Amino acid sequence: MLSAEVQKKVESWLSGNYDEATKQELQQLIDSQNWAELNDAFYKDLEFGTGGLRGVMGVGSNRMNQYTVGMATQGLANYLKKAFPNQPISVAVAFDSRNNSAFFAQITANIFSANGIKVYLFENLRPTPQLSFAIRYFKCQSGVVITASHNPREYNGYKAYWNDGAQLIPPHDQNVIWEVEQMKIDDVNFNAQPQLIEKLSTDFDEIYLQTILNHLPNTALSQKHGKDLKIVYSSLHGTGIALVPKILEKQGFLNVSIVAEQAIPDGNFPTVVYPNPEEAEALTLALNKAKEIDADLILATDPDADRVGIAVKNLRNEWQLLNGNQTGVLLMYYLIQTYKEQGKLTGKEYIVKTIVTSYLIDQIAEKNGVECMNTLTGFKYIAELIRFFEGKKHFIAGGEESYGYLINDFVRDKDAISACAYIAEMTAWAKEKGFTLFELLVNIYVEYGFFLEKLVSLTKKGQQGAEEIKAIMENYRNNPPKTLAGIRVLKVRDYQKQTEKDVLTGELFPLEITHKSNVLQFITEDGSIISARPSGTEPKIKFYFSVRTQLSSTSEFEATEKLLQEKVANMANDLGI
**pLDDT tens track for 72-111:** 999 999 999 999 999 999 999 999 999 999 999 999 999 9
- CA-based nearest residue to 515, from 50, 16, 40, 3: 50
Query: What number of other Cβ atoms are within 10 A of residue 11's Cβ?
Result: 10
Question: First vs last Cα of the chain: how many Å apart?
Answer: 34
CA–CA distance, 319 with 289 (Å, rounded to integer): 11
Which residues are CB-neighbours of 262 under 8 A, at least 6 positions away? 234, 235, 236, 237, 271, 272, 285, 286
Cα separation, 263 vs 239, whole angstroms? 9
Amino acid at 197: I
Spatial CB neighbours of 485, under 8 Å, sequence gap ≥ 6: 524, 528, 567, 570, 571, 574
User: What's the pLDDT score for residue 429?
Assistant: 98
Task: Give pLDDT, residue 170.
Answer: 86
pLDDT beyond 90 at 114? yes
Domains 44-201 and 207-448 fall in the same CATH topology: yes
Q: Is 80 exceeded by the pLDDT of residue 50?
A: no
Q: What average pLDDT does range 552-570 have in this prediction?
A: 97
Rounded CA separation 475/477 (Å): 5
- The vertex-310 CA angle with 444 and 350, nearest 5°, equals 50
> E strands along 322-393, which residues?
349-354, 371-375
Dump pLDDT digits (tens) for 155-196: 999 999 999 999 998 899 999 999 999 999 999 999 999 999
Q: Where are the alpha helices (DSSP H) in 449-501?
A: 462-478
Sign of the dihedral through C-alpha 69, 70, 75, 80:
positive
Contact between 230 and 295 (Cβ < 8 Å)? yes
CATH of segment(s) 450-574: 3.30.310
Q: Span 235-243, mean pLDDT? A: 98
d(CA 577, CA 573): 6
Each residue's pLDDT tens digit, 188-237: 999 999 999 999 999 999 999 999 999 999 999 999 999 999 999 999 99
pLDDT given at position 167:
95
What is the rounded average pLDDT of the residues 547-565? 97
Strand (E) or helix (H) holding 91: strand 90-95
Hey, where are the domains in the chain?
A: 1-39, 44-201, 207-448, 450-574
In the predicted model, what is the mean pLDDT of residues 130-144? 98
CA distance 376 to 379: 9
Q: CB of 350 within 8 A of CB of 389?
A: yes
Going by pLDDT thresholds of 50, 70 and 90, the confidence category of residue 1 is confident
What's the average model confidence in pLDDT over 270-293?
A: 96
Mean pLDDT of 449-477: 93
| CA neighbours closer than 13 Å in the CB half-sphere of residue 215 | 20
Give the span between the Cα atoms of 551 and 90, in whole angstroms: 54
- Paired with 157 in beta bridges are 54
- What pLDDT shows up at residue 51? 78
Distances in whole angstroms, Cα of residue 567 to Cα of each of 268, 270, 324, 549: 39, 37, 20, 11
- Based on the residue annotation, tell me whether 535 is a catalytic residue of this protein: no
- Percent of the chain whose predicted confidence (pLDDT) is above 70: 100
pLDDT band at 118 (very low <50, low <70, confident <90, very high): very high
User: Strands 142-146 and 90-95: what pairing?
Assistant: parallel
**DSSP code for 123:** S
Q: Catalytic one among 61, 90, 97, 149?
A: 149
| CATH number, span 207-448 | 3.40.120.10
Please give the mean pLDDT across all residues of the chain. 96
Distance CA 222, CA 541 (A): 41
Residues in the chain: 577
Checking if the pLDDT of 284 tops 80, the result is yes
Q: How many CA atoms lie within 13 A of 517 on its CB side?
A: 24
Note the CATH number of domain 44-201: 3.40.120.10
> Which DSSP state fits 373?
E
pLDDT of 536 above 80: no
**DSSP code of 299?**
E
Q: Which pLDDT band, with edges at 50, 70 and 90, does 480 fall under?
A: very high
pLDDT of 551 reads 98
